[in-house]
Structure 1
Amino acid sequence: MKANKISVVIPAKNESLSIANTIEQIYAENIPGLLEVIVVNDGSNDDTKVVAKNAGATVISHPYSKGNGAAIKTGARQAKGDIIIFLDGDGQHKPEDIPSLLKKLNDGYDMVVGARQKGSQASIGRSLANKFYNGLASYMTGHKVEDLTSGFRAVNANKFREFLYLYPNGFSYPTTSTMAFFRAGYSVSYHPINANQREGESHISPIKDGIRFLLIIFKIGTLYSPLKMFLPISGSVFLTGCCYYLYTFITMGRFTNMSALMFTTALTIFMVGLVSEQITNLMYKD
């Protein structure tokens, strides 16, 4: 059995303060099979490109900022290894955890995610949001999802590339890739990690985070089984309509427009979920 070749891909935007240390730590781990360290410079306006190159990485530069997901896709296309390790260039992820992720991947998994432990989240709000994501994703997939949004992961390169067309250019590529792997029947596992506080300025804003929160919820549903999310909503609206109809029948002896609206809404939500389910099946037909 031939030894796996490993590529490390680091998306980076204005990370000149931390990128050199991250690259040096990766090389210091003496990872067997390490083929290359690729830094995708996503339109930085600081010295990220020069610093990364001087630290020994192969640097691919976007002419302007396209987003974290776009950088991930660029790196995945260029990576020559059988296995790709993705980690952030802001100093949050510890290269010393890479061997543990690889060990678990070699146990037969197709993706191993570094699951951030208590105290590793950027803020209380982010921590609560991630707990909600994890709970919803666990319900949708029927498997325990320990960290849906962690960007630190080891993947089978060929299987990861199967879903490049699904990955967004923004920040939710971890959600999309995890749900896609589950939906395709690939094996996903988790390894506990403790993340550092990032160095430099965060690229996340509260408003964008709020919009991202809503989009990720919809992505979780539409990328796995939309009907599983739409059906409970439809059932709740239908049950509310039944209760309201019972109330108006007892008190007024008639069927009201509000009850009719609730029944119609419940049917519409169910049909949207059913159509979405068929579309999702087509997405994974190959």
Structure 2
Amino acid sequence: MNTSLFSEERQQFPLFNPVTPEVSVVVPIYNEVESLTLLIEAINTSLSGTELSYEIICIDDGSQDGSAELLKQQAMTQPYLKAVLLRRNYGQTAAMAAGFKYAKGRAVVTLDGDLQNDPVDIPRLLAKLDEGYDLVSGWRQQRQDAAITRLLPSKIANWLIGRITGVKVHDYGCSLKAYRQELVADLNLYGELHRFLPALAFIEGARIAELPVRHHARRHGRSKYGLGRTFRVVMDLSTIFFMKKFLTRPMHGFGLLGIISMSLGIITGAYLTFLKLRFGEDIGDRPLLILAVVLLLTGVQLFCFGLLGELLMRTYHESQGRPIYRVREVIAINVNNSKEEE
């Protein structure tokens, strides 16, 4: 696979170089001990024929089924594999953030650890990425999941996210994606925002493409996803909408609402004052008086929120961010064939 994205460093760095790989494959792992060996072999088989140097970074997110121990054993014998073991279960977003931190490749590929994503599609994603895109998102056109508990909520969520964010992607939930390293470096992940990576990338000005990929039924274990996640998607969507519209100018959002609320309160108050002065009506027990006071107070509060948001955004952009995870240890074989730990 001779592409301009990778060809600059191919002659300088040999295959399986753990220091400067061209491709980093990031795989969050949570209780996938039965799939782990097959997954690593499949990724290795897929990439070994591309003539690209690569590394596989598996992040164990506090597994309790032996996945961490198996990863440690694999990392001690396979030079292209790095195991990052988190201290406890932080969630998929934190695990992906950890993988992004340790990824050194010029391209970063993510996929799930349950073998439902097919590593065979990785070279196709990389080829599409080399056409000038910053992010290539997989699209599971023929999903092998339950219709009621997985497919229907996913279709609703994808439609809702696309409508609100303006980023039209058919399959936000597909973990199989390819990124340029410079885009990954700009993405700050927290909460459960891994579902919205195309929208977050769009906020950073990324060029996004979508590519149909294979999808298989789960072979081992059971899914960690359910209907409960749909509600979390809806809640997180408000965060994404605010970030897309007002990330660097929160005053434009809160301030506008505050001005509207204060204006309505002033108009209502002026109307009541006119009735009092012109016709001598008793306005003390009128609901409109309470509404006017509430609108004025709400407007002042929203305006103050906008000012505080401006200060927080400046702090956010100007300060050094802390990671949202804590790594217990990292096991890998370095260039001197010795164990690397943290």
TM-score by length of 2: 0.64
* CA distance 1:80–1:214, change in 2 (3 Å): same
Residue 45 of structure 1 corresponds to which residue in structure 2?
64
* CA distance 1:149–1:259, change in 2 (3 Å): farther
Residue 224 of structure 1 corresponds to which residue in structure 2?
244
Pairs within 5 Å for 1:242-261: none
Match of 1:82 among 106, 113, 116: 106
- Are 1:35 and 1:81, in contact at CA under 8 Å, matched by a contact in 2? yes
Aligned mates of 1:268, 1:117 — CA distance in 2:
49
Is the counterpart of residue 109 in structure 1 residue 133 in structure 2? yes
Match of 2:221 among 200, 206, 218: 200
Aligned mates of 1:269, 1:100 — CA distance in 2:
52
Aligned mates of 1:140, 1:174 — CA distance in 2:
14
List per-residue Cα deviations over 1:104-136 (Å, max 9, x = no partner).
100011111112224345543433333333334
Structure 1, unaligned runs of 5 or more: 242-253
Number of positions where the alignment pairs a residue of Structure 1 with one of Structure 2: 269
* CA distance 1:193–1:44, change in 2 (3 Å): same
Aligned mates of 2:159, 2:294 — CA distance in 1:
28
Let me know the Cα RMSD of the aligned residues: 3.9
Match of 2:123 among 99, 103, 115: 99
Structure 1 residue 256 displacement after superposition: 5.5
Aligned mates of 1:122, 1:6 — CA distance in 2:
33
Aligned mates of 1:120, 1:265 — CA distance in 2:
53
Match of 1:16 among 26, 33, 43: 33
Aligned mates of 2:311, 2:216 — CA distance in 1:
40
Kindly provide the amino acid, as one letter, of the partner of residue 15 in structure 1: E
- Are 2:137 and 2:209, in contact at CA under 8 Å, matched by a contact in 1? yes
Match of 2:173 among 133, 149, 159: 149
Match of 2:200 among 176, 180, 203: 180
- What's the secondary structure of 1:18's corresponding residue? helix
- Are 2:150 and 2:227, in contact at CA under 8 Å, matched by a contact in 1? no
List per-residue Cα deviations over 1:61-91 (Å, max 9, x = no partner).
1232222122112211112211111111111
Pairs within 5 Å for 1:117-156: 117-156=141-180
Structure 1 residue 171 displacement after superposition: 4.3
Aligned mates of 1:124, 1:99 — CA distance in 2:
32
* CA distance 1:179–1:277, change in 2 (3 Å): farther
Residue 235 of structure 2 corresponds to which residue in structure 1?
215
Aligned mates of 1:83, 1:77 — CA distance in 2:
13
- What's the secondary structure of 1:114's corresponding residue? strand
Is the counterpart of residue 72 in structure 1 residue 96 in structure 2? yes
- Are 2:149 and 2:227, in contact at CA under 8 Å, matched by a contact in 1? no
* CA distance 1:263–1:126, change in 2 (3 Å): farther
Aligned mates of 1:115, 1:265 — CA distance in 2:
48
List per-residue Cα deviations over 1:253-278 (Å, max 9, x = no partner).
x9967986998799799969977996
Match of 2:189 among 150, 167, 187: 167
* CA distance 1:34–1:187, change in 2 (3 Å): same
* CA distance 1:106–1:262, change in 2 (3 Å): farther
- What's the secondary structure of 1:17's corresponding residue? helix
Structure 2, unaligned runs of 5 or more: 1-6, 11-21, 265-285, 320-342
- What's the secondary structure of 2:8's corresponding residue? coil
